Amino acid sequence: MEKNQHGRANLCKKFQRMVVRRFLYASAICMILMVMSFTSASGQKIESFSVRNSTLKEALKQLEKQVDMGFFYESREVEEVRGITLSIRNVTLEEILQKLLLGSGFTYEIVDKNVIITRVKNVVVEKSQVQTIKITVRDEETGEPMIGATAVIRGTTQGAATDVNGVVELKNVPLNVMVDVKFIGKTTVEVKVVKGKTEYSVSLKDESIKVDEVVVTTGYQTIERGRATGSFDVVKSKDLQMVVSNDVVDKLEGVVPGLALDGEGNMIIRGQATIYAETKPLVVVDGFPMEYGTYNINPNDIEQISVLKDAAAASIWGVRAANGVIVITTKKGKKNQKVSVSYNGSVKVGSRFDVSSLGYLNSVQQVEWEREYYANTNMISAIGTSSETYFSEAAMIEYRYQNGQMDEGERNAAYSQLASYDNTKDIEKYFYRRSLLQTHNIIITGGSQTTTNYFSVNFENSLGDLIDNSLNRVGVQLNSTFDLNERIKLSTGFRANYADKDAYTETPTSIAPYVRIKDTKGKYVNEYYGVSQVLKEDLQAKGYSDWSYNRLKDRSEADNNTKSYNVAANLQLDVDLPFGFKFSTSGMYTIDHSTQEILYGKNSYYARDLFNKFTAYDETTRQLTNYLADGGIKNIAHHNSSSYTFRNVLNYNFNGEKWSTSAMAGCELFAIRTKMESDTYYGYDPQGMTYNSTMNFYELVNTGVYGYSNSYRQTLSYAPSHSDTEDRYFSVFFTGNISYAERYTLFGSIRYDKTNLYGRSGKYRDQPTWSVGGKWEVSNEPFFKVPLIDRLAIKFSYGLSGNIDKTTSPYLIAANARDMFTGQATLVIQNPENPELGWEKVYTFNSGVDLAMFGNRFNLSVDYYNRETRDALGTSIMDPTSGWASVKKNTASLVNRGLDLSVSGAPVVNENVRWNTTLTLSYNYNEVTKVNSGVSTVNTMMNGDPIKGKPVDYIFAYRSGKLSPEGAVQVINAAGETLDYAAVNTFETKDFLFPGRTSPKYFGAWSNTVSCRGFEFDIMFTYKLGHKLRMPSIGNVYIQDRVYKTYDQRWRKPGDEETTWVPRSMYGSNTGFSISVMENIDRQIEKADLIRLKSVGLSYDFKRLIKTNVISDLNLKFSVENPWFWAANRDGLDPDRLGTGAYGGSAYLGDQPTYYSFTLNVKF
């Protein structure tokens, strides 16, 4: 027996070795194919070379020590060349020699293994064959003049550097010679001197992507990529230009691995690591947190966005960083820069909303369904002057037939007439339009030797696709820096926005498909709505106000306007101290205000309907009694908040020949206070700005009155509110890293947060967070001799962060209130005493590899993460005698792990064409590992409560069986028994299906940019895979609701159960329970896989055609967004447009429009 076991073990080992060998072979083949896809290989690389303020002789000696070659030169001559400073990494010997000898008057030649340095011979020509020329040098990407670029006549030492305007003048230049224009990090451009042409203009582009030049901004400090041990992504300003939008979130989707948008458009980084606490990342702008997101940031003002994803990167922000950090850095001016003015404007037009994409029953199908409905119920008998219940036009046809007002032929003709009209196109015509977004931005920048300034003003005008939806917004940004002296620098920032928004909040698509909006003469048609039309007509005859309704006519009778502004000002003072120390003190103050006013005019249906409902008719006296003031109704809501941050930081930096270290310690105080209030005014007169204050609110709100109906009392929904909340944090923090020989880096940070969110006890208020990390730059090792690889680094991190739920506390929370009728002080208990409550603790491990190859033309970054949340808030069942059925306690745990991958490269780079491509892939998995919420039941599933062993965002379903002979839903339990749907009340967890989760398991994007002779073409695809969705509702079917088209496949007669799974109508006997079963059967679950062509654009640089020094950049771009998508579900619905319906069902919001944009960039 033992021999057999050992034999099997040896066989397994052999099999494993065979698998490993084949995997290595396959990897080698893939690497060879990858190498072949690039056009050239690099020569032998020197890992690093650095000299500072040295002579050429000293520099050559330093270089000779690093290469196995002999150097020959005239010692005294090369010693005369002084002031050489150069620091570069991963370059060839030739590249170093070119940069050392640039403009020195020396040249080199490599013979065998010897480097020979000689003087360049000057060319002597006649005066008639020379001329003076001027060359203007600009950065190809930014269009800015390049100061310090050199222009040297090839083969000579004659040359000069550009001035502050980017212009260099060369005298006595021979005709037909070549002038080399160079700048470190840029591709050299040659200029041929032609007789008679004295002015030339060139643009220098980047030689290749310099990976180590990328810096990460944490909001507190800036770290070179080579020393950053955490997981992060850096998004440059140009990366945000694919999508035309004033919303930063729209521009980030698909650009950052691990960043996704949920159904409400909120950012989520690396999935969900909590059940009830906050899931959105912290947004930081210019070093200070923004509690209101990114809406007041103009994307044109953004220089860079750093997305911090793991503990090492984000832990410096403490408990607010459990879900990652979005660090936005706005643009600044540059020193020694002339004043430049630029304009950026765009016009974005959206296609008209396609109402048919909602997938509702059409008029014929709707009328057929209603005929069936009323033929199988006795509800028609309820129509009359004594019933308030709303009935449709189809119901009134049946009512007139049953009351002898028409015969069967007339009834059929009436139904046919009703079904002959479909209002889909009229809804599009009267309620929708092509959306229009205009943005205009003017930017002024400049700087002197001691100051920099950046000023921008932007204006946005947006007309929504729903008529009467509009937004006007204006914003300004001002950033300045001042060098007060050699050691003291002052930085200031100011940002302000004002917005005026109008909204139309009705839903025109909810109207029945056969209802006419206007008749053939263009007059408004009354719509049966709200209250029985029979009762309306009867009461109007008795003197009630006009009760007719037409939603198109009513649109102009109501206004919904919101005015808002926000202002943020920040200041920072930096003081350079001796011995590598620097002290910084900074602060920011922000205010945010908004006022929403909703005015229903006196003639609006809302005001007339409410007035009529609170009007009583006395049959004896035939008199009307009005309990509600006549006039308009005004709702008003104010939101005011202010916040401040004050921070002191001491930094230390040391850079030695081998060792380098940096450290930061500081403290921070942050507070935010928010006040909100709302009220409603009845009988409001907008011209006189008066309202009724004599109404008996106590009676109207509490006891109610008999109004238009004698069957029950009408109560008024009137609840003015006022709130005042304040959150405060005090934090101390420390972070430091140490590096050796640019190969090994260790990092550590700790932060201690105190907050008032958890009462007075330090046990709950205080939360330490910490992280450690390390990085190994393998490619900088002396033993690493792989010419194709420019950079290979391995990194890891581990740390603790926290998370909070502001709705809970360890202490009893009660809100102060005052009874508006009695005037007595009251307390409203919001949260029970919960002494076991504490912070959620999120432990995050991250490991990753960064790889750059082929002169940094191929880059790969891959990160694995594991986030373990302990003491997560979960619902715990309470003793009923406590007065609470359940409370949130730190009784749950969950795990959230995944992979982020980014592959980018430039497969084609030559004089005419450059192709850049980037592929991102993210994988995410989460599971609840511990929960204490009792036995899982049907209600558990319906409420979405956590279940051990399932994802946080699980989706559940009932196993559906064949319909019964009567067309009813049947379900199958875990034992395979087919049961009536009512049996789900007895189901246990094992009886349910869990087909997956609602958020994608895999998501990412593929983007490409191709540049050729001034043209630039870009295209981006995004994808979401591996998740599930619930198709639109077929269970919540009532006459007044629009019904999804699947319902047309319903069971109608015996035998249909053989051909359809859609159950019969329950004809008004639906209950919430029966509806939920129909909504959640497995037939309603579909794959949510989605591939979207997010954007495609083409631009051209017209500066190539315009020969003028007034304009330095002129670019026009045309782009299309969302022109195509593919979805895996049976009806091809866009999963991003599925909303939440009743009883766990879904509602489809229709296909997204396609957008067409023109963008103009001009720089003067």
Rounded Cα–Cα distance for residues 678 and 719 (Å):
8
User: Residue 212's pLDDT is what?
Assistant: 40
Query: Which residue, of 119, 145, 165, is where some domain finishes?
Result: 119
User: Residue 292's pLDDT is what?
Assistant: 60
> Given CA atoms 154, 157, 163, 169 in this order, what sign does their dihedral have?
negative
Judge whether 168 lies within some domain. Answer: yes
pLDDT confidence bin for 24, thresholds 50/70/90: very low
Whichever domain contains 87, its CATH number is 3.55.50.30
User: Residue 1103's pLDDT is what?
Assistant: 81
pLDDT at 922 exceeding the cut of 90: yes
Helix (H, G, I), strand (E, B) or coil at 411: helix
pLDDT at 279 exceeding the cut of 70: yes
pLDDT confidence bin for 4, thresholds 50/70/90: very low
Is 150 found in the same domain as 112? no
pLDDT at 313 exceeding the cut of 80: no
Name 29's Cβ contacts closer than 8 Å, sequence gap at least 6. none
Question: HSE (CB half, 13 Å, CA atoms) of 1107?
Answer: 3
Structural domain boundaries, residue 12: 1-36
pLDDT confidence bin for 29, thresholds 50/70/90: very low
Name 76's Cβ contacts closer than 8 Å, sequence gap at least 6. none
CA–CA distance from 53 to each of 58, 64, 71, 84, 639 (Å)?
Answer: 10, 18, 21, 5, 59
Is 57 found in the same domain as 4? no
Please, are residues 661 and 738 in contact by the beta-carbon 8 Å criterion? yes
Dihedral, CA of residue 1129, residue 1131, residue 1132 and residue 1138, to nearest 10: -80
CA angle at 780 for the pair 779 and 781, rounded to the nearest 5°: 90
User: Residue 597's pLDDT is what?
Assistant: 97
Among residues 145, 235, 152, the alpha carbon closest in space to that of 188 is found at 152
Q: pLDDT by residue (tens digit) across 531-570?
A: 989 999 999 999 999 999 999 999 999 999 999 999 999 9
User: Residue 775's pLDDT is what?
Assistant: 93
Rounded Cα–Cα distance for residues 1083 and 963 (Å):
12
pLDDT confidence bin for 995, thresholds 50/70/90: very high
User: Residue 50's pLDDT is what?
Assistant: 80
Please, are residues 184 and 99 in contact by the beta-carbon 8 Å criterion? yes
User: Residue 35's pLDDT is what?
Assistant: 35
Rounded Cα–Cα distance for residues 252 and 299 (Å):
11
Judge whether 763 lies within some domain. Answer: no
Query: Which residue, of 174, 204, 234, is where some domain finishes?
Result: 204
pLDDT at 823 exceeding the cut of 90: no
pLDDT confidence bin for 28, thresholds 50/70/90: very low
Rounded Cα–Cα distance for residues 426 and 410 (Å):
27
Please, are residues 46 and 92 in contact by the beta-carbon 8 Å criterion? yes
Judge whether 714 lies within some domain. Answer: no
Question: HSE (CB half, 13 Å, CA atoms) of 142?
Answer: 15
Task: Give exposure, 198-218, as e/b (b: 16+ Cβ within 10 Å).
Answer: eebbbbbeeeebbbbebbbbb
Least confident span in 208-222, 453-467, 873-887: 208-222
- 1135: tokens are 């999963």
For residue 564, the Cα-to-chain-centroid distance in whole angstroms is 22
Rounded Cα–Cα distance for residues 1117 and 243 (Å):
11
Please, are residues 191 and 770 in contact by the beta-carbon 8 Å criterion? no
Judge whether 80 lies within some domain. Answer: yes
pLDDT confidence bin for 765, thresholds 50/70/90: low
pLDDT confidence bin for 1036, thresholds 50/70/90: low
Is 86 found in the same domain as 29? no
Please, are residues 991 and 973 in contact by the beta-carbon 8 Å criterion? yes
Please, are residues 236 and 216 in contact by the beta-carbon 8 Å criterion? no
How many domains does one find in the chain? 3
User: Residue 9's pLDDT is what?
Assistant: 40
User: Residue 427's pLDDT is what?
Assistant: 96
Both ends of the chain: CA-CA distance in Å? 87
CA–CA distance from 429 to each of 355, 508, 524, 553 (Å)?
Answer: 10, 11, 14, 14
> Which residue has 């991963």 as its token pair?
90
Judge whether 137 lies within some domain. Answer: yes
Please, are residues 534 and 526 in contact by the beta-carbon 8 Å criterion? no
Q: pLDDT by residue (tens digit) across 581-618?
A: 999 999 999 999 999 999 999 999 999 999 999 999 99
Q: Give residue 135's region: left, alpha or beta (phi > 0; psi -120 to 50).
A: beta
Question: HSE (CB half, 13 Å, CA atoms) of 316?
Answer: 29
Higher pLDDT, 367 or 1033: 367
Say which DSSP state 124 is in. -
Whichever domain contains 158, its CATH number is 2.60.40.4130
User: Residue 667's pLDDT is what?
Assistant: 95
Share of the chain above pLDDT 70, in %: 87
Among residues 513, 525, 532, 512, the alpha carbon closest in space to that of 553 is found at 525
- 511: tokens are 């109207």
What is the mean predicted confidence (pLDDT) over 708-735? Answer: 88
Q: What is the pTM of this model?
A: 0.81
Is 28 found in the same domain as 56? no
User: Residue 764's pLDDT is what?
Assistant: 56
CA–CA distance from 83 to each of 58, 80, 86, 105, 158 (Å)?
Answer: 11, 10, 10, 14, 18
Among residues 571, 627, 559, the alpha carbon closest in space to that of 598 is found at 559
pLDDT at 776 exceeding the cut of 50: yes
User: Residue 159's pLDDT is what?
Assistant: 79
Is 198 found in the same domain as 131? yes
Q: pLDDT by residue (tens digit) across 858-892?
A: 999 999 999 999 988 877 777 666 767 677 777 88
- 294: tokens are 């990114």
**DSSP codes joined into one string, 918-983:** EEEEEEEEEEEEE--S-S--HHHHHHT---TTS-TTEEEEEEE-PPPTTS--EEE-TT--EEEGGG
Higher pLDDT, 1151 or 839: 1151
Share of the chain above pLDDT 90, in %: 47
Judge whether 17 lies within some domain. Answer: yes
Q: pLDDT by residue (tens digit) across 99-158?
A: 888 767 788 888 767 788 887 765 455 556 788 999 998 877 667 788 778 888 876 767
Judge whether 94 lies within some domain. Answer: yes
Rounded Cα–Cα distance for residues 252 and 1008 (Å):
16
Query: Which residue, of 173, 204, 235, is where some domain finishes?
Result: 204
Mean pLDDT of the residues in the chain: 85
What is the mean predicted confidence (pLDDT) over 747-762? Answer: 73
pLDDT at 7 exceeding the cut of 50: no
What is the mean predicted confidence (pLDDT) over 1082-1100? Answer: 95
Helix (H, G, I), strand (E, B) or coil at 32: helix
Judge whether 155 lies within some domain. Answer: yes
Is 57 found in the same domain as 30? no
What is the mean predicted confidence (pLDDT) over 148-174? Answer: 81
Higher pLDDT, 103 or 624: 624
Is 75 found in the same domain as 14? no
Is 142 found in the same domain as 89? no
User: Residue 1099's pLDDT is what?
Assistant: 94
pLDDT at 75 exceeding the cut of 90: no
